[in-house]
Amino acid sequence: MKNHVYNFSAGPAVLPEEALKKAQENLLGLPGVGMSVLEISHRSKPFAEIIEAAEMNIRKLMNIPENYRVMFLQGGALLQFAMLPMNLLGGKSADYIITGTWSKKARSEAKLVGETRVIWDGGESNFNSLPTNEELRAAVNSDAAYVYYTSNETIQGVQFPTEPEVDVPLVCDASSEFFYKPINIQKYGCVYACAQKNCGPAGVTLVIMRDDFVARSPELPSLLNYKKLSAENSMLNTPPCFSIYMVKLVTDWLLNTVGGVEKMYEINKAKAALLYDVIDGSDGFYLGHAQKSCRSLMNVPFKMQTDALDKVFLEEAAKENLCSLAGHRSVGGFRASIYNAMPVQGVECLASFMKNFMQKHG
Ligand SMILES: *Cc1c(COP(=O)(O)O)cnc(C)c1O
Residue 205: strand pairing partners: 73, 194
Residue whose CA is at the smallest distance from ligand 1 atom 14? 175
Beta bridge partners of 93: 115
* Cβ of residue 217 lying under 6 Å from some atom of ligand 1: no
Task: Report how far ligand 1's centroid is from the alpha carbon of 157 (Å).
Answer: 13
| Ligand 1 contact, 87 CB (< 6 A) | no
Question: In this predicted structure, what is the pLDDT of residue 3?
Answer: 61
Give the residue whose CA is nearest to atom 2 of ligand 1. Answer: 175
* CB of 103 sitting under 6 A from ligand 1: no
Distance 29 CA to ligand 1 centre (A): 32
Summary count for the chain: helices (H), strands (E): 11, 14
Query: What pTM, to 2 d.p., does this model score?
Result: 0.98
Mutate to test the pocket of ligand 1, among 159, 175, 206, 247 (most ligand atoms within 8 A of CB): 175
Length of the chain in terms of residues written? 362
Are 218 and 87 in contact, with CB atoms under 8 Å apart? Answer: yes
Q: Nearest CA to 4 among 351, 322, 355?
A: 322
Longest dimension (CA), the chain: 63
Q: Is the dihedral of CA 319, 324, 325, 330 positive or negative?
A: positive
Q: C-alpha dihedral over 171, 134, 62, 144, to 10 degrees?
A: -20
Atom of ligand 1 nearest to the CA of 79: 9
Tell which residue, 306, 322, 335, 294, has the closest CA to residue 152: 294
Q: Is 197 a catalytic residue?
A: yes
Beta pairing partners, 229:
none
Active site annotation includes 102: yes
On whether the CB atoms of residues 155 and 100 are closer than 8 A, the answer is yes
Active site residue: 22, 102, 227, 271, which one? 102
How many angstroms separate the CA atoms of 310 and 304, rounded? 8
Question: Of 22, 104, 120, 197, which one is the catalytic site residue?
Answer: 197
Distance CA 284, CA 209 (A): 44
**Contact between 74 and 204 (Cβ < 8 Å):** yes
Ligand 1 centre and the CA of 319: distance in Å? 29
Alpha-carbon span 256 to 126, nearest angstrom: 40
Residue 21 CA: distances (Å) to CA of 138, 144, 202: 50, 46, 18
Asked if 152 and 299 count as a contact pair (C-beta separation under 8 A), the reply is yes
What local confidence, expressed as pLDDT, does residue 91 receive? Answer: 96
For the CA of 155, the closest atom of ligand 1 is: 15
Residue 43's closest CA among 188, 232, 243? 232
How many angstroms is it from 284 CA to the middle of ligand 1?
Answer: 31
Distance between CA atoms of residues 309 and 360, nearest Å: 12
pLDDT of residue 305: 93
Task: Answer for the pair 138, 162: CB distance below 8 angstroms, yes or no.
Answer: no
Q: Which among 22, 104, 120, 173 is annotated as catalytic?
A: 173
DSSP designation for 327: P
DSSP assignment of 28-82 equals S--TTT-S-TTTS-TTSHHHHHHHHHHHHHHHHHHT--TTEEEEEESSHHHHHHH
The answer for 321, left when phi > 0, alpha when psi is -120 to 50, beta otherwise, is left
* Spacing, Cα 281 to ligand 1 middle (Å): 32
Ligand 1: distance of its center to the CA of 245 in Å? 20
Q: What is the pLDDT of residue 11?
A: 96
Give the whole-angstrom CA distance, residue 24 versus residue 15: 13
Query: Along the 362 residues of the chain, how does pLDDT read in single tens digits?
Result: 456 799 999 999 999 999 999 999 999 999 999 999 999 999 999 999 999 999 999 999 999 999 999 999 999 999 999 999 999 999 999 999 999 999 999 999 999 999 999 999 999 999 999 999 999 999 999 999 999 999 999 999 999 999 999 999 999 999 999 999 999 999 999 999 999 999 999 999 999 999 999 999 999 999 999 999 999 999 999 999 999 999 999 999 999 999 999 999 999 999 999 999 999 999 999 999 999 999 999 999 999 999 999 999 999 999 999 999 999 999 999 999 999 999 999 999 999 999 999 999 98
Q: Is residue 95 in contact with ligand 1, taking CB distance under 6 Å?
A: no
Q: 230-254 burial string, b = 16+ CB within 10 Å, else e?
A: beebbeeeebbbbbbbbbbbbbbbb
Ligand 1 mutation pick, 154, 155, 204, 296, max ligand atoms within 8 A of CB: 154
Q: Whose CA is nearest to atom 3 of ligand 1?
A: 77
Least Cα distance to 288 among 156, 136, 97 occurs for 156
Cβ atoms of 177 and 152 closer than 8 Å: yes
Would you say 195 and 206 are in contact if contact means Cβ atoms under 8 Å apart? Answer: yes
The CB of 77 under 6 Å from ligand 1? The reply is: yes
- Quote the ligand 1 centre to 185 CA distance (angstroms): 20
Our CA angle for 290, 292, 294, nearest 5°, is 70
